[in-house]
Chain A
Amino acid sequence: MATPLAHARGSVGFQPVRIIASIRIALRALRRNKMRSLLTMLGIIIGVGAVIGSVSLTSGATKEVEDQVASLGESILIVFSGNYTSGGVRGGWGSAVTLTADDARAISRLPDVVAVSPEVRDREQVFANGLNWNTEVMGEGPDYPQIRNWQVASGSMFGDAEVRSLAKVAVVGQTVVDELFPNEDPVGQTIRIRNLPFKIVGVLVPKGFNLFGSDQDDIVLVPYTSHMHRITTRNFVNDIQVEAENNQVIDKVQNEITDLLLTRHRSPEQDFTVRNQLELMQIVTASSRAMGFLLAGVAAVSLAVGGIGIMNIMLVSVTERTREIGIRMAVGARAADILIQFLIEAVTLSVIGGAIGIVAGITFSLIVAYVKHMPDVTPIVWIVIAVVTSGFIGVVSGFYPAWKASKLDPIDALRYE
């Protein structure tokens, strides 16, 4: 039917200006009900905040592992006693006792190995200056600082001579210095471990907390021989730290160590595990990723709840504003105008909620990271994902109420009390 009015009909699409006008109408409506708008947004705020917060913390942790590996070099291998590659788990790392200092010496003679340090660990009460402190006393070889990429700030690391002579020397971390020598230079001073005097020959550069939140500077290094024969009495080491020439030969070195130890131990089954740094990193990142997925699941549920909240309030709002809808239609608003108006209202609610959620999530993760001395990184991708998701939730949850509003008959809507 050709009518002279046909030209007046708009094309199907909207001019962008009408959208801007609709946004203004929506904002005005939301401002009128500030408290209700805020409460409606709460679900989205919590959901998005949880996503951003958890993602920030887990990706911060992942990044720190990567950084640590990068700083250590990917050419580090650790030999644990016990077999973790086959079947059942037997106790914690290094609980089985199979590795010896001789194993370490044998490994150091392998072609592509540049540094080796057998490691024994123990928590001890240490005394100095009339003060005492409980700390991790580590028996290590002279190569330990090189393997861990850890410099000695003042003094120096003990050498092979001290290892051979079971010397009572120690290199201490900054936390131990702070606790036992608050006001003086510790180098040259003596600390007592199990009542034996150890002379401090060096202080390590502070490293801070690791990603599990433990203080890496709370440490005393002594020659592993002194540890094994003077402090404790044992024949076995907890693990052996190995540095390969470079990361191209790491697989070769790993195989060589395995072959070497299998021949040396002559046991029917493999009683040790060789892990390289990359594998260790993957274990840690996998667990932090699993944590991230769990949190993301919680967040998804809360976002769904937030969406339902928005739909609920929008339905109430459509009913409350039936007359307004009638008036708008009476002066020329088409069904699509009303649909867009309410849709934009819902989207505005959820996007503003999302924005607040992003800020809240970042703030929360920064506070947690600060308090727990953890790293914190908010990936931009996730901010984009959060914005898009909350917009999407707005569209989905706003559509039904908006559609209901647009289907109203103008005269019925005007008569609505």
Chain B
Amino acid sequence: MSSNAVIQLVDLHKVYHTGEVDVHAVRGVSLEIQPGQFIAIMGSSGSGKSTLMNMIGCLDRPTSGEYQLDGVNVSALDRDALAEIRNAKIGFVFQGFNLLSRTSALENVEMPMLYNHRRVHSEEQRERARQSLEIVGLAERADHHPNQLSGGQQQRVAIARALVNRPSLLLADEPTGNLDTQTSIEIMGVFQKLSDQGITIVMVTHELDIARYTKRMIVLRDGKIVTNEPVRDRLNAEQELVKLRQAQAAVKLA
């Protein structure tokens, strides 16, 4: 095993025991992800993408198999150690946003810093949360509550929250699921920039167009990896944005 990999999965299984039927959501996934990698996980609904992401994100434990994160056997750690890892190393964007209701966008983004091992001063928390919101282009909505934000805006708050602790691993379950094309490309621009800075990103997506902004593509079917290959003719978000704006301008001109 080459061990400079950030993530190393060996024959990972996840079985849900629900009532009479056992659901075998992930069936033997082995995968190595190098630092700075930008991966898209694709696959039809129910193929086990979210299940796999939850395990990579140290939220859920595999039924069997081994998971090494930064050379640490995560499967052997206790709850508090996992919480510490989630806080310090991982930024997670959930498929359903999972924002705190009746809490402003800014406070939502600040929340992970409350649990940092090294205390962050409350002014610094505020400042960092604001910067995070700026990255996703939502600074002017900082005081809005989730129920005052559109789906896409909520998703961007969730991304800002995932970024606020400057994680080395960003996990995003359909981060562009609710966004229009332009915002999607903008978010991909953010991800590409983070990737250039050396952050490892794993992203679930349904859209092939979006997967083309990543460096590598994995396809899951029935809990197994069926494709794992580099992305050919990769898109650059900045260029695509320019093109899109020209196209939009053309429409208006016509």
Contacts and interface: CB of A to CB of B under 8 A. Distances in A.
Interface in B103-117: 103, 111-112, 114-117
A324 B100 contact: yes
A329 B84 contact: no
B231 to A, nearest CB: 29
A64 B114 CA distance: 54
Contacts of A331: 86-87, 92, 111-112, 115, 161
A336 B84 CA distance: 12
B54 interface: yes
Interface in B144-193: 161, 165
B86 A411 contact: no
Given A327-B98, A411-B59, A3 B115 contact: no
B71 A4 contact: yes
A87 interface: no
Given A10-B117, A32-B102, A330 B59 contact: yes
Given A5-B85, A333-B83, A410 B115 contact: no
Interface range, B side: 20 to 34
A8 B88 contact: yes
Contacts, number: 85
Contact of B115 (A326, A332, A414): A332
Majority secondary structure, A binding face? helix
Contact of B111 (A5, A328, A335, A336): A328
B117 A334 contact: no
Contact of B60 (A21, A32, A332, A411): A411
A183 interface: no
A95 B123 CA distance: 80
B81 interface: yes
A124 B74 CA distance: 96
Contact of A334 (B54, B60, B80, B94): B80
B119 interface: yes
A3 B84 CA distance: 13
A17 interface: yes
B72 A410 contact: no
Interface of A: 1, 3-5, 8-10, 15, 17-18, 21, 25, 28, 32, 323-324, 326-337, 410-411, 414
